[in-house]
């Protein structure tokens, strides 16, 4: 998993990435040292709540991009987990999405990643 997050982090404009459970608990992260576990889990819980709250009103919603003044937060719903990428405003979302899809395809074929996702699976809040 960490290698996949590392690949995502190589995309110009990506500041850090993390994978969390459906309740916002960290599974894996590759973020700058300034972000502690509590801050990352706070971000994760907010993104999970956002995805959970919109699933009923927007069927098929699989990703969301939040635009802030000095950051973009891109989240992808993996159903068993949520991938969150924190970026600069100038990040190319299309390039990011393409690279994420490559990493996710690799994760789908990786028994170790799938086992870890099964072990950490919890129902969505």
Domain membership flag for residue 39? yes
In eight-state DSSP terms, residue 59 is T
Residue 46 belongs to domain spanning: 2-120
The residues, ordered by sequence, that sit 6+ positions from 54 with a Cβ below 8 Å of its Cβ are: 61, 64
Domain membership flag for residue 79? yes
Count structural domains, the chain: 1
Q: What are phi and psi of 67, to 5 degrees?
A: -105, 120
Nearest alpha carbon to residue 75 among 93, 90, 89, 102 = 93
Domain membership flag for residue 125? no
* Alpha-carbon distances, residue 95 vs 53, 59, 117 (angstroms): 27, 24, 25
Domain membership flag for residue 34? yes
H helix or E strand, kind and range, residue 76: strand 72-77
Domain membership flag for residue 97? yes
**Neighbouring C-alpha atoms within 13 Å toward the C-beta of 16:** 15
For the segment 5-42, what is each residue's pLDDT rounded down to a tens digit?
A: 999 999 999 999 999 999 999 999 999 888 889 999 99
Residue 69: give its domain's CATH number. Answer: 3.30.450.30
H helix or E strand, kind and range, residue 7: helix 2-9
Whether the predicted model's global pTM rises above the 0.85 cut: yes
For the segment 85-124, what is each residue's pLDDT rounded down to a tens digit?
A: 999 999 999 999 999 999 999 999 999 999 999 999 998 7
Residue 55: pLDDT over 60: no
In eight-state DSSP terms, residue 70 is S
């Amino acid at each position: 998993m960490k290698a996949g997050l590392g690949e995502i982090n190589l995309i110009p404009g990506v500041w850090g990435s993390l994978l969390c459970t459906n309740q916002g608990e960290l599974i894996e992260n590759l973020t700058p040292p300034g972000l502690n576990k509590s801050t990352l889990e706070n971000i994760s819980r907010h993104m999970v709540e956002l995805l959970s709250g919109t699933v009923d009103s927007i069927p098929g919603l699989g990703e969301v991009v939040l635009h802030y003044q000095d950051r973009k937060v891109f989240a992808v719903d993996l159903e068993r987990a949520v991938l969150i990428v924190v970026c600069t405003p100038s990040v190319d979302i299309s390039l990011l999405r393409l690279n994420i899809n490559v990493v996710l395809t690799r994760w789908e074929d990786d028994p170790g990643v799938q086992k870890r996702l099964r072990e950490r699976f919890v129902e969505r809040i």
